[in-house]
């Protein structure tokens, strides 16, 4: 059963009155506090809180109450921006298997020779520490299929690494050759 129309009308009327009194002070407050391009978004968020908590807005101090909400919204925005910046920084420093950074160039090369799905399965397994069940959830396949694909991807990567190790020069031969040249 819905609310009577008179209740909705009274609620809309109360919100309109608060909006008329608080909108411009909210805009100024948020802009002065560094809202920048997000000023309108923060003000809209405040007005959403006002609508949801309309009964909590004190009639005698509408603007201060709204500015208190804006203060908390700005704090949330700043925390979000800090978290985003920290995430970008963390991702930038993590080793990647795309050739940009790696401690083992053979691993980077071998991984790049795999198809994209096998690369993703191996990343989910190695980086995220996921088992077949979690990999299945991410990829939208059955746990059995994820287990089989992970097994195949690991073996294919191992084979590629083994073939690279066999075809490359032995680890100490180039060092020994350099030492022999210097002694001459």
* 132-143: pLDDT as tens digits: 999 988 888 999
Measure CA of the first residue to CA of the last residue in the chain; give whole Å: 99
100 pLDDT exceeds 50? no
Cα–Cα distance for residue pair 104/69, rounded to 1 Å: 51
Q: What's the rounded mean pLDDT across residues 94-106?
A: 58
Q: Which domain holds residue 42?
A: 5-93
Band of pLDDT at residue 168, cut at 50, 70 and 90: low
Domain boundary residue, one of 93, 123, 142: 93
Q: Please give the pLDDT value at position 163.
A: 87
Q: What's the rounded mean pLDDT across residues 19-25?
A: 95
CATH code, domain with 162: 1.10.10.10
User: Shortest CA distance to 43 belongs to which of 81, 17, 83, 71?
Assistant: 71
Task: Say whether both 59 and 118 belong to one domain.
Answer: no
Q: SS3 for 103?
A: coil
What's the pTM? Answer: 0.50
- Flag whether 100 is in a domain: no
Task: Say whether both 13 and 76 belong to one domain.
Answer: yes
Q: Please give the pLDDT value at position 4.
A: 58
Domain boundary residue, one of 39, 68, 93: 93
CATH code, domain with 75: 1.10.1740
Instruction: Report pLDDT digits (tens) over 29-64.
Output: 999 988 788 899 999 999 999 999 999 999 999 999
């Amino acid at each position: 059963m819905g609310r009577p129309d008179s209740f909705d009308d009274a609620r809309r009327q109360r919100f309109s009155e608060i909006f008329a009194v608080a909108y411009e002070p909210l805009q100024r407050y948020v802009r002065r506090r560094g809202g920048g391009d997000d000023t309108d978004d923060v003000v809209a968020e405040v007005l959403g809180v006002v609508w949801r908590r309309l009964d909590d807005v004190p009639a005698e101090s509408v603007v201060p109450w709204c500015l208190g909400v804006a203060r908390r919204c700005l704090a949330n925005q700043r925390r979000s921006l800090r978290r985003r910046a920290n995430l970008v920084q963390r991702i930038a420093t993590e080793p990647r298997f795309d050739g940009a950074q790696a401690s083992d160039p053979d691993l980077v090369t071998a991984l790049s020779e795999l198809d994209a799905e096998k690369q993703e399965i191996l990343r989910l397994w190695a980086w995220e520490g996921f088992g077949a069940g979690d990999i299945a959830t991410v990829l939208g396949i059955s746990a059995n299929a994820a287990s089989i694909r992970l097994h195949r991807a690991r073996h294919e990567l191992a084979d590629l690494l083994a073939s690279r190790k066999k075809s490359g020069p032995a680890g100490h031969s180039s060092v020994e050759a350099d030492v022999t040249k210097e002694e001459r």
